[in-house]
Chains A and B, each alone.
Chain A
């Protein structure tokens, strides 16, 4: 079965392991299907997972990956098909049964009780006790051991609320690994991680493998898949396309198999060269606790990238500049000195900010699309006493058209859209205020490759229209693909700049992780800006 044939969608070939018969699959799914009413979300998936094997599941959003994982871990019962573990047929009516059988799922979303400590969360629902008294000391000791084992430095006594997003993910992983499991399923584990943390996670995965545990690994990041996967199963539109041995596929092959057709270039051609007209100049920006003395300038027609690890202070820097958190900075917009007291002032002056937290800070998921679209532009959009509903409806139709937002009806709610379409709606919302400087924080987090390509094209269009664009991203490839210039931040300071041929992953990674730590007196690189 050739890759080309699979791309054409003939589907259903299963690659058998290198040494057939050598190992009994610890988990086997046969003809697994799931229907919700008339809608089939997953059909006829057959899968063998061997002990000590890293089995990656890839596919676009909506391909059925999460459904498959939920079937395997007992959150959902299959409509057809069977599961067996080590040769015995099993049926899971609820997640705890799958857990007892030795299958652990690390969720994509972080599901921790924020008001409890790390230890409390690790043992939530399975607290250790002596008699009727909860045995805190033993639990803390075990928690500390488990956290140390996966290289997570948080204190077992810390409240989850006070712990960074990346560490929360680690806590969640520690929770899943607390007991020994036969199969561990990771659902998009690296979506909120960057650089070093991804490495740590991949090490954990390899550790599990060395232990003889089977790992099912779902990820959007094909580079990770290529590095660690022994087998890759591709899902497309709820069907299994094929299973290949991991290292035989290039990333491009995987992308083709996922999309089912030849991929155009993911990143758009640069149509305009950046000018040297400064649009937004920031000097000596300091956000207490996060950012110290950062200066930079973005020019008309330029896409400026901000790279760095989670916690490097990139989001905080821009939230500080636009008045969302306390900060001091000298800001010039188009040559005029400005100071944004609030996000409102920044929007009115023409600086738009697209948050990295689409669901928590970007959109009202329970609301219809039109109110979401115009929420930042209420003043512009509804100049009179009462609201201009017709103008609003027109704006929505236009946004749906322009940004190719796929929806069932204009009466849909934001939460009903897929991640990619939500992101496009959010972009439309920010651009509705007609900003001249657009700051986009994590433009493509957790969205599929087709939507990514569209968003890159939209960003390119923005600068072609003479706006300036700042892109904050934890995906280095994305920054390298679309940016004219990349600034790298580490521990709240700018550690360097790369542009042109110097924009390589290794250069950026060095600056983001191990570059010379800037001394307290060093100016965060103002010299090379002027």
Chain B
């Protein structure tokens, strides 16, 4: 009976995962096919296996620079987000100051507006100060959404560290920066991992701001993918290969932070 039940459960889970993986499999499948085969008819695996589509991406700078641009501004964004949010979260978790609770909530309200709302102000502002089409422009724009979330998550982790540890460190003679680097940051490394993950994810998948604030120099991969319609029609195979390559960084990041994220969920701030 129990075995029967758990077998049913396993079948259910297997089916669920299969269904979820269907679109990803289809993408992978397409990326190894030629355009003729994709358009030719239904086939569940590549009959003529080809790496041609990947070769196009890795040899054409307009393609691979897209990845480079994306990774560059996402990396910048994660670093800036953490650099700004760590001290802010520490202040919120350790000190009382005028309007601290209101401000903490207000931070989160920043995320309530859709990114599209900020298109116009960002575009106009960056154009007038000469930041248009730079990596830092996109990184900074994404901070508007990532910093509040990062502060919120990190504050939860920091509040889990007893204040007495700070005090003991000062009593032992630690200066603040030394305590923060040597004792405090290692204690909340799960939180930093989770925060970096969320910042990365938002910035990596966000398309609207990234596309609007760039034109050539800092053009993200997702924007390049929307412009594959050539004279000969849509280049399905290359597009699929680009899609696969776009999934990979996210996959890697998730692989590295999966344990931390579980901890983050347990702490209730994610």
A and B part of one assembly: no
